[in-house]
A and B are shown apart, each in its own frame.
Chain A
Amino acid sequence: MRRRSPFPVAASCLAACCLVTALCAALGRAADRQLRSGLDIFVSGMDIVSRHYYREVEDRDLAYGALKGMCSALDPHSQFMDEEIYREMKVETEGAFGGLGIEITIRDKFLTVVAPIEDTPAFKAGLRAGDRIVEIEGVSTKDLSLVEAVRTLRGTPGTVARITVMRPSTGAMLPFAITRANIQIQSVKDAGLVRSRIGYIRLTQFQEHTGSDFDKALRALAAEGMEGLILDLRNNPGGLLQVAIEIADKFIGGERLLVYTKGRIRTQNIEFKSHGKAAFPDLPMVILVNKGSASGSEIVAGALQDWGRGIILGEPTFGKGSVQSVLPLPDGSALRLTTAHYFTPKGRVIQKVGVQPDIRVEMTDEQEIKVLMRRRLERMIKESPEGTDLATEKAELKKLGEAADVQLERALDLLQGILAVRKPLGATPAPAPAKTPAAG
């Protein structure tokens, strides 16, 4: 046994040597030389560890450690998945799981809440966009990959996830115990007319039914006499790309470019275009965004902005616009690799940069929390069956006082102004403020 192994190795080594020499000479490629010297250093490092580390470590574990390190150093979304993690990833993307209702990513090396989704346990517990999850069940999240983090946060509905969150705006370390639930989200929210003729729709994410629900809501508003629309994409972490495209498609007609992906290899370059007639090609629009608007939201906002189909109002968006491909490897493991970035029709990259609002209106965390609380209380009061004791809710609401949604107010003023100057001649002129910009 002992003697058997080196011999074939030596033989194949010799053969390999000849081949390599021949090939390298023939090709003379610098890249190969570079790779060779790189591998050489790696192998010598591996050798030192196997001989001098205080305990024995399997070569496979060393190689996997190396692969994990190499891939996660690329960017937060690239990752080496060993067999087990890959298998679980495949199961998870298919099945339904209980969760907390947050979209998370890794930002500045911290596991960061992109946005809590409305009406989910995380939202009710008070998690905020930008919160950094520093611990899950008492264990630091520092070296946790995104997939691993998602896996630990998910679980059977009814079980409790304990997390510790660092809130950058205050530096506070906040512990949360959040009960997992089946996350079923009504993604089209609060559709209605404001100031009699301005439609308002909030999309909390882009999921399977969002497109058709959105369509229904739009048609209903149009039937009620909607003349302008406020599309609220604040704290919308994204979702299905196809659905985001479907939304943009309703406002941009023809065969116009909505978004495209671009990578280093050609197969990664894909254009997504609108098809045919837009349902609402001329409807004046204001799109509300904030730092919790990510991915799909940024695609919609970017397309509408580039085609001059709406005014973007609010804060710069999150900046999440990369495309990952999953590449299975021969030993059952797999590689998740960022292979392309999303670009807006005018060629602006979304990743890290985000979409910049045309009109910047900031809201402090405190203002935002107040608005969200107010919204929740109002809904509770409205939706509770008659006879429910709502005294505490009403008192709380009163205590909140004027919790103005500054961004929404500004959007309403803007749209009202646009509608006023847009009135065709002959119609009764509305007292429009002259300073309102007539944006296209």
Chain B
Amino acid sequence: MRYSSTRFPLYCLLLMLAASVVLSRPAAPAGGAAEKDGDVYRSLDILCDVITIIQRDYIEKLGTERLMQDALRGMLASLDSYSTYLPAPAPRATPGPPAGEPGTYGLEVAYKNRLLTVVSPVENGPAWKAGLKSGDLIIKIGEEPVDDRPLAELLQLFRGAAAGELRLQVARRGEREFLDFTLAPGKVEGPAARTEMPEDKIALLRIARFDRGTPARVAECLAALKERGADGTVLDLRDCPAGEIEAAIEVAGHFISEGGLVATLAARSDEARKEFVSSGAQPSAEGPVVILVNGGTSGAAEVLAGALQAEGRGVLMGQKSFGCAFEEGTFTLKDGSVITLLTAVYRTPAGAEIQDKGLTPDIEVVSETAETEAGEGEGGEGEGEEFEIPDEKGEKGLKGVKAPKGEQETDPVVQRAIDLIKGMRIMKSKEGN
């Protein structure tokens, strides 16, 4: 054996440590216990072998500490793109702007396919105004390439109350050159939710973000719609990133009858596992619901959309959502290093995990141009013609759209949703007869 001399004491050490793992664990289920313990020894055995070999043969002399840090980093990185190991706690971010002037970039990011991706800019926030788009890949922050900077650190940078301007270099699909953006922290303006009634008795409810004020604002909107006799809702959750999941659960109460399941939180430990049920909040939304989602729909918005889809309360239309709804935990090891771990993930009432998978729409709207055109807010008469019109009734609806005012009238996806609600109403009335 090549490394017999150093191996013996190491092996003993290892046995001892492995034993400490086994003994410190909660009692394993009876069946696989013995097998599993053996596994711990073997796994750590190989780790020890490799450390010994590296310290002896590698071109550079390396200390154990560094190797162990890389090992822990690798272990956490092998789990998912969120869990991280930081050898030292992240330095506190620079103090934010004075109270009362919330400074934010209004930008949600995540690692997707291991590239730092813009989930979505928050509508009417600084990043949104600067022109960043859902799906943009961030290559550089300032002069620094993003590389493998841990997400925990990046989230603090993007979400947190950063003080200064942030320069980003971005790769966007379809562009041949990098795009540069400079973001100044500022406020997200405008209401979290707004509503209009583009057609008779069909409400359009747009939720741009989920924060603490969102449920109250949604309740106001729904009350106003009810007054006008709304019977059918297009719930627009496109490009609605992250936010407070509790707010989404509260909002779900307006759509799902009291006591109905909204979401579950799946975890290994009993205390972290949870079920969320509808509070049956009033006013309740009447009539059929079509929920619009896209790749910028994530977090709270996905929990809401997933609940309505799984409970059969609404039809999901658009593109696959981003796939990010979890709770995280932070654990400090005794040398001060920090592990950030996904401790629980949200599931829809149907038991589907949202994390990484996203929600698949019932009706897929493939066209990308639909969104950009909608975002530009400029409408031509011909725009709607690019989209297939399902039936004669739908076509009538499309023509009818020219009459009422409002910028949303030119959004062909919204138009398709409206058509769908009309169709659902007709089907229902026929059933009634």
CB distance from B268 to the nearest CB of A (A): 6
Contact A66 B71 (CB under 8 A): yes
Contact B56 A43 (CB under 8 A): no
Listed residue (B49, B72, B269, B343) with the most chain A CB atoms within 10 angstroms of its CB: B72
What separation, in Å, do the CA atoms of A36 and B20 have in the docked complex? 13
Interface string of A281-294 (1 = CB under 8 A from B): 00000000000000
CB distance from A241 to the nearest CB of B (A): 17
Q: Which residues of B contact A13 (CB under 8 A)?
A: 15-16, 19-20
Listed residue (B9, B70, B343) with the most chain A CB atoms within 10 angstroms of its CB: B9
Contact A70 B59 (CB under 8 A): no
What separation, in Å, do the CA atoms of A60 and B39 have in the docked complex? 7
Contact A16 B13 (CB under 8 A): yes
Q: Which residues of B contact A65 (CB under 8 A)?
A: 74-79
What separation, in Å, do the CA atoms of A13 and B20 have in the docked complex? 9
Within 8 A of A (CB), among B207-246: none
CB distance from A33 to the nearest CB of B (A): 10
CB distance from B39 to the nearest CB of A (A): 5
Residue A35 is within 8 A (CB to CB) of chain B in the complex: yes
CB distance from B108 to the nearest CB of A (A): 19
What separation, in Å, do the CA atoms of A42 and B76 have in the docked complex? 11
Residue A109 is within 8 A (CB to CB) of chain B in the complex: yes
Q: Which residues of B contact A173 (CB under 8 A)?
A: 171, 173, 175-176
Contact A49 B47 (CB under 8 A): no
Interface string of B31-72 (1 = CB under 8 A from A): 101101101101111111111011011111111110110111
What separation, in Å, do the CA atoms of A50 and B40 have in the docked complex? 11
Q: Which residues of A contact B78 (CB under 8 A)?
A: 61-62, 64-66, 68-69
Interface string of A14-40 (1 = CB under 8 A from B): 001101100110010001101111111
Contact A109 B147 (CB under 8 A): yes
CB distance from A420 to the nearest CB of B (A): 46
Q: Which residues of A contact B23 (CB under 8 A)?
A: 6, 9-10
Residue A340 is within 8 A (CB to CB) of chain B in the complex: yes
What separation, in Å, do the CA atoms of A333 and B46 have in the docked complex? 9
B8, B46, B114, B329: which contacts A329 (Cβ < 8 A)?
Answer: B46
Interface stretch (choices B197-205, B274-282, B334-342, B391-399) = B334-342
Contact A172 B57 (CB under 8 A): no
Size of A's binding interface in residues, CB under 8 A: 92
Contact A331 B20 (CB under 8 A): no
Interface string of B290-325 (1 = CB under 8 A from A): 000000000000000000000000000000000000
Within 8 A of B (CB), among A317-347: 322, 325, 327, 329-331, 333, 335, 337-341
Q: Which residues of B contact A66 (CB under 8 A)?
A: 47, 71-72, 74-75, 78
Listed residue (A10, A49, A170, A338) with the most chain B CB atoms within 10 angstroms of its CB: A49
What separation, in Å, do the CA atoms of A356 and B50 have in the docked complex? 36
What separation, in Å, do the CA atoms of A268 and B326 have in the docked complex? 49
User: A13-B19, A329-B46 given as contacts; is B27 within 8 A of A2 (CB)?
Assistant: yes
Q: Which residues of A contact B147 (CB under 8 A)?
A: 109
What separation, in Å, do the CA atoms of A80 and B64 have in the docked complex? 17
Residue A74 is within 8 A (CB to CB) of chain B in the complex: yes
Interface string of A52-81 (1 = CB under 8 A from B): 111111111111111111111111001010
Q: Which residues of A contact B335 (CB under 8 A)?
A: 37, 41
Q: Which residues of B contact A67 (CB under 8 A)?
A: 46-47, 50, 71, 74
User: A39-B17, A52-B329, A53-B343 given as contacts; is B176 within 8 A of A172 (CB)?
Assistant: yes
What separation, in Å, do the CA atoms of A329 and B176 have in the docked complex? 46
Contact B339 A49 (CB under 8 A): yes
Contact A54 B49 (CB under 8 A): no
Interface string of B334-369 (1 = CB under 8 A from A): 110101011111000000000000000000000000
Within 8 A of A (CB), among B68-104: 68, 70-79, 83, 85
Interface stretch (choices A135-143, A222-230, A385-393, A402-410) = A135-143
Residue A5 is within 8 A (CB to CB) of chain B in the complex: yes
Residue A195 is within 8 A (CB to CB) of chain B in the complex: no
What separation, in Å, do the CA atoms of A108 and B46 have in the docked complex? 29
Contact B70 A69 (CB under 8 A): yes
Q: Which residues of B contact A37 (CB under 8 A)?
A: 64, 335
Contact B77 A5 (CB under 8 A): no
What separation, in Å, do the CA atoms of A265 and B55 have in the docked complex? 11
Listed residue (B47, B63, B71) with the most chain A CB atoms within 10 angstroms of its CB: B71
Residue A434 is within 8 A (CB to CB) of chain B in the complex: no
B9, B85, B178: which contacts A171 (Cβ < 8 A)?
Answer: B178
A70, A134, A339: which contacts B71 (Cβ < 8 A)?
Answer: A70
What separation, in Å, do the CA atoms of A109 and B147 have in the docked complex? 7
B59, B61, B171, B343: which contacts A52 (Cβ < 8 A)?
Answer: B343
Contact B22 A9 (CB under 8 A): yes
Contact A140 B114 (CB under 8 A): yes
Residue A90 is within 8 A (CB to CB) of chain B in the complex: no
Contact A74 B58 (CB under 8 A): yes
Q: Which residues of B contact A10 (CB under 8 A)?
A: 19, 23
Q: Which residues of A contact B401 (CB under 8 A)?
A: none
User: A53-B79, A265-B56 given as contacts; is B331 within 8 A of A73 (CB)?
Assistant: no
Q: Which residues of B contact A68 (CB under 8 A)?
A: 74, 78
A12, A49, A59: which contacts B36 (Cβ < 8 A)?
Answer: A59
Contact A59 B269 (CB under 8 A): no
CB distance from B38 to the nearest CB of A (A): 9
* 12 sample A-B contacts, Cβ–Cβ < 8 Å, listed by A number: A2-B27, A9-B22, A12-B15, A13-B19, A16-B12, A43-B18, A52-B269, A52-B341, A59-B36, A62-B78, A71-B54, A337-B53
Q: Across the A-B interface, give the 4 residue pairs with the lowest CB-CB distance, nearest first.
A: A69-B74, A65-B78, A63-B43, A13-B19
Residue positions of B touching A, CB distance < 8 A: 8-10, 12-28, 30-31, 33-34, 36-37, 39-40, 42-51, 53-54, 56-65, 67-68, 70-79, 83, 85, 113-115, 145, 147-148, 171, 173, 175-178, 266-269, 272, 326, 329, 331, 333-335, 337, 339, 341-345
Other A-B pairs beyond A6-B22, A52-B269, 5, CB < 8 Å: A16-B12, A70-B67, A142-B114, A265-B56, A330-B46
